[in-house]
Amino acid sequence: MLFNSYVFIFLFLPITLLGFYGLGTWGSRQLALIWLVVASLFFYSWWNINYLGLFCFSMFLNFFLGSALAGEIEIPLKKIWLLRLGITLNLGVLVYFKYADLTILSLNSLINTNFPLLRVFLPLAISFFTFQQIAYLVDVYRGKVKENSFANYCLFISFFPQLIAGPIVYYRELIPQFERQKSFRLNPENVLVGVTMFSMGLFKKTVLADNIAPIATKVFNTAVFNQPLTCAEAWVGAIAFALQLYFDFSGYTDMAIGAARTFGIRLPINFNSPYKSVKISQLWRNWHMTLTRFMREYVFFPLSRYLQNLALSSKTVSMNAGNTNLVTTTSTLIVMLLIGIWHGAGWNYLIWGAINGVYLIGYQQWRELRRRLGHNLNHRTWWSDLLGWCVTFFLWCVALVWAKADSMQEATNVWGGMFAGGGFVLPNFAQGQMWSDVLFPTTQLKLIRVLFWLGLLLAIAVLTPNTQQWLEKYQPALDHYPIPTPKNWYQRFWLKQRWQITPYWAVISAILTLIAILSVGRQQEFIYFQF
């Protein structure tokens, strides 16, 4: 059941809301929670009920392990070994379903064997709920989670707004909100803010992302068949995919946060205008923020401490600046490799992670060099920001080719066009009927359509506030990233246009929602559903 489907918008979400608030108001909190868990399990099983059993078993197993870590169940194992067992089991399931066939293919290629593929079907959302359950076990071990209710745990893992593709939520963020009595009473403001945010995300997905998707698809499909790409073709395809990915995933996240807000629940922000970034580290801080938060807290810091202790126990008696820099560099590269392979079972994703790891390491070394030369790293000018943005977006698009391509050959073909392709003539990118065909109906104007979409979406991503900033008066997400202090005319303009519960904004919201809903008929799956 897709967020951008009529069955979700007009049936599932309203019925689930009515049941939750009805039971919460006239029944009991426990019944309302059970209703929400049952609805979430139904939502999960809509795609393929065969993996509902695996999902439920995973929840039961991790709750059992969490109870043992909390000391509520006696097990003859030290807690640290119990935690390691839990992490190993969770990662083992993820590796089996996601990477077993990739491993077999790689072995067959490397040592010339012919092992048959397992052809296991990837369970929906396994990458996301695996990370949430690992975070839960670690938090129980660290004493950050004390309350241990099976109903609460099931709700934490299965809560449908964040179940399929995040945001990755911690137990300590979500469940305390459900323990407040007011969460079970209908609040019109929560519903209005939630529906508005959901509609903004739906507009991003159905009108913006889905309309630029054919442009990227046409370029990469050409590369599949080893047809030569011009420089302009390849760059248009790369930029189109960068914009499609952003509006697709940030649109999904807006819908997830908006759907949760209709229940009075705030989820953590997942995007903070990453395409406004003027350095690659800033882009990664603001892109898929809950994933990078998880990797930083549960992988990068523990790994860095382990490598530091390893260095101290070796011949090096003390950690000097060079050793510390090596630890940071190594940890950064490993984390980015893990982020890459987490996104997909393919060598292209590993390469994508490695490229971004090299970017971050290079940026760290550049800052270190400037510091040694006595430069003021906090001094910024408009031209340095502009140059930084150009370099950052250029590097991002170059690396992202590997995340879009289905094979290494496809990626290298697109790269060949980007860096060695001849000419700057754009072909006819017409592929299917799109909303912009109303403005540019003739074949001669297809080129204008392509440039129109690229320019429009890039301007929206770079020059306008993000969804949380539009709605910042009502704090739609857990984290608050307000519009910066206005420095120029367009920032002052946007600051005055923030969404409010007024007739003026009601009309604008209704128009955008209507356009988005009318575009649902040609619904496409979200890109991150494959992860």
Active-site positions read 343
Gap between the Cα atoms of 273 and 460, Å rounded: 10
Encoded amino acid at 358, one letter = V
- C-alpha closest to that of 242 among 102, 418, 109: 418
Determine contact, residues 41/60, Cβ cutoff 8 Å: no
Determine contact, residues 124/528, Cβ cutoff 8 Å: no
The total of other beta-carbon atoms located within 10 Å of residue 485's CB is 8
Query: How many alpha carbons lie under 13 Å from residue 18 in its C-beta half-sphere?
Result: 6
- C-alpha closest to that of 394 among 239, 261, 274: 239
Query: How many alpha carbons lie under 13 Å from residue 136 in its C-beta half-sphere?
Result: 32
Gap between the Cα atoms of 14 and 282, Å rounded: 38
Give the long-range contacts of residues 57-60, CB within 8 A, separation 24 or more: 58/90, 58/93, 58/129, 58/133, 59/133, 59/153, 59/154, 59/157, 59/158
Determine contact, residues 58/123, Cβ cutoff 8 Å: no
- C-alpha closest to that of 529 among 391, 344, 379, 354: 344
